[in-house]
Amino acid sequence: MYKVGIVGVTGAVGLEFLKVLKDRRFPIKELRVFASERSKGREILWGDERLRVEVPSYENFKGLDLLFFTAGAKVSLEYVPIAVKAGAIVIDNSSAFRMEKDVPLVVPEVNGESIEYPRGIIANPNCSTIQLVMVLYPLHRVAGLKRVVVSTYQAVSGAGLRAIEELKRETRKVLEGEEPTSEVFPHPIAFEALPHIDIFQEYDYTKEEWKIIKETRKILGLPDLRITATAVRIPVIRGHSESVNVEFERELSVEEAREALRRDLSVEHGLNLWIVSDNLLKGAALNAVQIAESLIKS
């Protein structure tokens, strides 16, 4: 039994952590929850227990075996090193440490065996990446990935609880014939598709697109994989979808392809995939808890 903490418990993914830990009967001796100063002292119901929200600090982390961080990269950059110093193993849901060489980036079904974490930190990948590698990995083992083209259809919950509220509020406005205004997203999202997630970076790819590209390469252990991504936010509340075109090195047997997947006729050894996943569960909280479970097993 373990002493476990969640940093960022009041967010969309934080609330899923509470649920997933309970549902999967994670062996918890004590659960402690953390959020920003604003939520300090607030009570959170977890089964029959009432958990009081604390602020993250070295003193408050002391004695914890395991800490899940899901409060964004800025909070992780500041408090993950403190948590490690306080003696906890950290599973970090933010992008802060994902690409660092000595931090493993883990999807248990793909690269979860014998995880090494010299810095005491394990990173949980981006939600779009997790569901992508879940499908690419078994296909890669059979036929060898040659090139991947992915277009995402991402739910607003990936941007947090405020984003869900924004979509609902804007949608009501549009239905009443009024002009919506946006705060969370760069443009109104009600009845719109926005090919703009996070900031624009090198070569006019967005940060979200670079995450998908770089994290997929790292998790699959294919640093030179030819992969390109277009990340799009659509007015869906929960559940990311992805249209994925894959070229393989070798032919997949017709049976293997027909069973679950769609053939791409425009290229030899190709497949078109439509990948759907709950972005808050396998895309975030569930994957992190699965990482913790594989730590316990080993």
Among candidates 166, 196, 168, 198, which has minimal Cα distance to 182? 166
Assess whether 240 carries a catalytic annotation.
yes
Active-site choice (140, 187, 196, 240): 240
**In whole angstroms, how large is the CA radius of gyration of the chain?**
20
Q: How many residues bind a second copy (CB under 8 A)?
A: 39
Site membership for a second copy, residue 195 (CB under 8 A): yes
Residue 68's closest CA among 223, 285, 293, 297?
285
CB of 153 to a second copy, least distance (A): 5
Q: Is 168 near a second copy (CB under 8 A)?
A: yes
Closest C-alpha among 127, 123, 74 to residue 102: 123
Residue 60: CB atoms within 10 Å: 17
Which of positions 198-217 make contact with a second copy (CB under 8 A)?
Answer: 203-205
x/- map, 232-261, a second copy, by CB under 8 A: x-xxxx---x-x-x------------x---
Residue 187 falls in the annotated catalytic set = no
Give CA–CA dist 258/267, Å, rounded.
16
What number of other Cβ atoms are within 10 A of residue 223's Cβ?
Answer: 8
SS3 211: helix
Applying CB under 8 A, among 36, 111, 171, 294 the residue interacting with a second copy is 171
Among 36, 39, 182, 272, binds a second copy (CB under 8 A): 272
Comparing CB distances to a second copy, the nearer of 121 and 273 is 273
Q: Which is nearer to a second copy, 96 or 275 (CB)?
A: 275
Residues 6+ apart with CB under 8 A from 165: none
CA distance linking residue 60 with residue 68, whole number of Å? 14
Q: Which residues are annotated as catalytic?
A: 127, 240
Q: Which residues bind a second copy (CB under 8 A)?
A: 147-149, 151, 153, 167-168, 171-172, 175, 191-193, 195, 203-205, 226-228, 230, 232, 234-237, 241, 243, 245, 258, 262-267, 270, 272, 274
